[in-house]
Amino acid sequence: MSPHLVLLLLPVIVFDTGQCQFACSFQNVLKTLNLSRAPSLRPVKDWRSTSIVYLDLTLYTIVDLDMNKQTAVIFIWFYMSWIDEFISWNPDVFCGLKKMFVSSDYFWTPDLYIYEMIESDDNSPNIPYYRISYNGKIVNAMPVRIVVSCKLNVFTFPFDNQTCTLSFGSYVYTVSDIVMLPKSNSSVVNKNTWDVFTSKGDWVLQAVTVQEKSFVTEGEEYNQVIYNIYISRTPMIYILNLIIPACFLVFLDIVSMFIQSYSERLGFKITIVLGFSVLLLILNDMLPSSDNTPMLGTIFCCICMAMMVLSILGSITTLYMMEQSNTSAILPLWIKKAVLTYLARILCFKKAIRAELVTLVTIDNEPESVKKVVTSEEKNRKEKKHFEKGTYLQEVKLLKKLLSQILKIRDDLNFAKEEREAKSDWLIVAQIVDRLVLVLYLFTVSLIFTIMICVWILW
């Protein structure tokens, strides 16, 4: 007989005494324990003693985070252990058997309840076995898929961090019956989770913490083990698909203010607004429509859209004024006063001020003074005419005729000049309005950008 064969046969030889061979089977242990199906009472020998239930959790993945319903689908590996005082056996009698797996039907189970759960876990894998030990310790380890409500704050979307809370506790038993305690502290839970966590979708795990808490309801004290799951969104897809295109469109819209042909500019701007509204549609699909609206949707997009519409209105106004200048209509005085004096000064529109001064001078002083001079000259001549006689009469008549012709030409020239000035007034006002819209646009957009970036960084 080879030594190997002896080694293989050794257990058979050692336990080949009828009693012990029989005691090595699981059935024998079960028979000794004398278990009944589905016990309903807490397994303690003295009802005044408290059962301590240890919980542990490892977050495996976040399956889904529904922004609109404010729910999270979470997959966890769950562990729960407690002592059943009626279970005990001597391992020496049963061939050293210290633990075994038995159908969960035979044991009392703490009524674990997850307070945030909103759907029963029909989709969880069903593992119907408990691990029992000779000293009465029962371990229920199972993977659980749970749907929990999760208060989501999306104000800083897409740079938001979320916290989901899982509160485990007994629903009926008070602390005098069952106390739930975390098996591992936060650092261990965190480490375990980091080892197995798989990132699904656009969420990154930050940390998992655990704490124990008790609370009093209607004079009864209950206790809970609370797990906080901290996650943050990976913003890259939103930056690429949303923020950068929006910034480009806004930038294009601002640059388009420098297109000199106003009608072409109008068409260009309307195209940009169309592009922006397509972007808004995409954004609407992506954005969570919770009660606290994200800043990106409300402030940024709305104000950018408003500024685009405002600049289109500005372009239309400018275009209208250009057309008015062609029809040689007179600029209303209040517009002239408001725009040429105040707005031009505020916007540092030097060209306009100079032009305005010139027009004021010409309109106010020149024609009247010239007319006065002319009329006085005429009077002098008339007076002289009385004194002079005969020979020069013919020439005087000719000169008079000449004078009247010159005056007429002067009047015509004056009229043409006024017309030209009115036209240039319209043009200047158009330019000032255009400048106003541009300044307003630039100011508002840079303000929003600053606010957004500050909030995203500081929040």
Ligand X SMILES: *[C@@H]1O[C@H](CO)[C@@H](O)[C@H](O)[C@H]1NC(C)=O
Q: For ligand X, which is the closer residue by CB, 21 or 187?
A: 187
Query: What angle, 0 to 180 degrees and rounded to 10, lies between the N-to-C axes of helices 366-387 and 393-458?
Result: 170
**Count residues contacting ligand X (CB under 6 A)?**
3
Instruction: Lay out the site mask for ligand X across 129-168 (x = CB under 6 A, - = otherwise).
Output: ----------------------------------------
Distance in Å, CB of 218 to ligand X, minimum: 34
Q: For ligand X, which is the closer residue by CB, 56 or 434?
A: 56
Distance in Å, CB of 187 to ligand X, minimum: 5
Q: For ligand X, which is the closer residue by CB, 137 or 183?
A: 183
Distance in Å, CB of 59 to ligand X, minimum: 17
Distance in Å, CB of 184 to ligand X, minimum: 6
Q: Within 10 Å of residue 215's Cβ, how many Cβ atoms?
A: 12
* Count of alpha carbons within 13 angstroms of residue 449, beta-carbon side: 13
Q: For ligand X, which is the closer residue by CB, 185 or 292?
A: 185
Distance in Å, CB of 226 to ligand X, minimum: 17
The reply on whether position 450 binds ligand X by CB under 6 A is: no
Q: For ligand X, which is the closer residue by CB, 185 or 404?
A: 185
Distance in Å, CB of 304 to ligand X, minimum: 48
Q: For ligand X, which is the closer residue by CB, 52 or 373?
A: 52
Tokens 């600029």 belong to 331
Residue 145 phi, psi dihedral angles, 5° rounding: -110, 120
Q: Which residue is nearest to ligand X (CB)?
A: 185
Q: For ligand X, which is the closer residue by CB, 210 or 437?
A: 210
Distance in Å, CB of 54 to ligand X, minimum: 13
Q: Give the separation between CA 236 and CA 12, rounded to whole angstroms.
A: 65
Instruction: Lay out the site mask for ligand X across 171-200 (x = CB under 6 A, - = otherwise).
Output: --------------x-xx------------
* Count of alpha carbons within 13 angstroms of residue 182, beta-carbon side: 23
Distance in Å, CB of 186 to ligand X, minimum: 7
Q: Give the separation between CA 121 and CA 127, rounded to whole angstroms.
A: 13
Residues 212/183, Cβ–Cβ less than 8 Å: no
Q: For ligand X, which is the closer residue by CB, 185 or 328?
A: 185
Binding region for ligand X (CB under 6 A): 185, 187-188
